[in-house]
Amino acid sequence: MKIYNIGIIGCGGIAEKMAATLGGMKGVKRYAVASRTEEKAKAFAGKWQFTKAYGSYEELASDPEVDLIYIATPHAMHYDNARLCIEKGKPVLCEKAFTANARQAADLLKLAEEKKVFLTEAIWTRYMPLSLKIRELLEEGVIGTPHILSANLGYVIDDKERILRPELAGGALLDLGVYLLNFAAMYFGKEVASVHSVCQKTDTGVDAQENITLLFEDGKMAALQASIHAATDRMGIISGDKGHLIVENINNPQSVKVLDTNYQTVAVYDAPQQITGYEYQVYASLEAIEKGWLESPYMPHAETLRIMQQMDALRRKWGVVYPCDNDKRFI
């Protein structure tokens, strides 16, 4: 059995969660980590038992022993980090939001196709077994014909630099709203007829809270709410003409409860035991690499790009602008 050498770009909290995940997985090795300083990389490598530590991203991307690189830097850095890896021929699992805007995303996807390099977005909920079970339940008609969906996601993270700074592509939308848009897309599809929204901004000019309503071509509606100020219940509810589903924590689904039209619980489905939940996106990436795929069926490139375009349109409406939106490379 091949052991895959995993590299990580970035040494923040999300990188630590991935490092912990890799330690519990089969068929992978915590091989290399890179930071902008060798000191930080060595400290991370020592803590999480990585074989190599690099003081530059270039060194990691150039290491011939690396089989897959996970990008765990702030949103605004994803484009340059992923482009570097793709240019070096390295398969990439890039943390959500995939990039800061759709033009960056389109450029990366085009480059990966040209170079024949695997690339996928690490939107972990797309790869989880319980997320797939929800789709299966809807297809089986357990709540009849679905009509409306509601979901919220909020954490008190309004003191974090990466959230507040426009130059880091901060705000609730790219950090939290992306999960809500993906939740709606997974179960109601991609044919959106119209979008209505309102947002409250921070003093720094990024979105702090938003309500987003999606009307789909077939008449379905989704109401989504994100906040960096409030700890919300994170629930998702999908309602049909024969009952409704309640998803506990749309950001890491723990259980799905099915209720009938008399509001009686008829079934409960729990998530399987997992390491952290990050393992599913890694296993999916390795499956794709083994089979020679350039994208994962769990998160197709077209869907990554569509949701980035959706978020661009929302930010334009709200007047939330990042410096990279005016990058002359894309104008």
CATH code assigned at 156? 3.30.360.10
Helix (H) or strand (E) holding 112, with range, is helix 102-115
Amino acid identity, position 171: G
Neighbour-count burial of 105, counting CB atoms closer than 10 A to its CB (0-12 exposed, 13-18 middle, 19+ buried): buried
Q: How crowded is residue 191: how many other Cβ atoms within 10 Å of its Cβ?
A: 9
8 A C-beta contact, residue 295 and residue 71: no
CA distance 229 to 239: 28
Per-residue pLDDT tens digits for 260-295: 999 999 999 999 999 999 999 999 999 999 999 999
Per-residue pLDDT tens digits for 22-64: 999 999 999 999 999 999 999 999 999 999 999 999 999 999 9
DSSP state of 12: S
CA distance 79 to 92: 12
Is residue 107 situated within a structural domain? no
**Number of domains within the chain:** 1
Could you tell me the pLDDT band of residue 331, with boundaries at 50, 70 and 90?
low
What are the strands of the beta sheet with 52-54, ordered from one edge?
Answer: 52-54, 28-34, 4-9, 68-71, 92-95, 119-122
Whether pLDDT at 257 is above 70: yes
Question: In sequence order, which residues have a C-beta less than 8 Å from that of residue 285 and are 6 or more positions away?
Answer: 68, 91, 93, 118, 120, 296
CA distance 309 to 292: 28
Q: What is the pTM of this model?
A: 0.96
Q: What is the CA radius of gyration of the chain?
A: 20
Per-residue pLDDT tens digits for 143-169: 999 999 999 999 999 999 999 999 999
Is residue 65 situated within a structural domain? no
Residue with tokens 């661009």: 312
Is residue 16 situated within a structural domain? no
Neighbour-count burial of 64, counting CB atoms closer than 10 A to its CB (0-12 exposed, 13-18 middle, 19+ buried): exposed
Structural domain boundaries, residue 208: 126-270
Is residue 299 situated within a structural domain? no
109-114 contacts at long range (C-beta below 8 A, 24 or more positions apart): 109/301, 109/304, 109/305, 111/83, 111/86, 111/87, 112/86, 112/294, 112/301, 113/294
- Bridge partner list, 244: 239, 259
Is residue 180 situated within a structural domain? yes
Is residue 288 situated within a structural domain? no
CA distance 60 to 84: 10
Is residue 185 situated within a structural domain? yes
Q: How crowded is residue 295: how many other Cβ atoms within 10 Å of its Cβ?
A: 19
Is residue 168 situated within a structural domain? yes
Whether pLDDT at 179 is above 90: yes
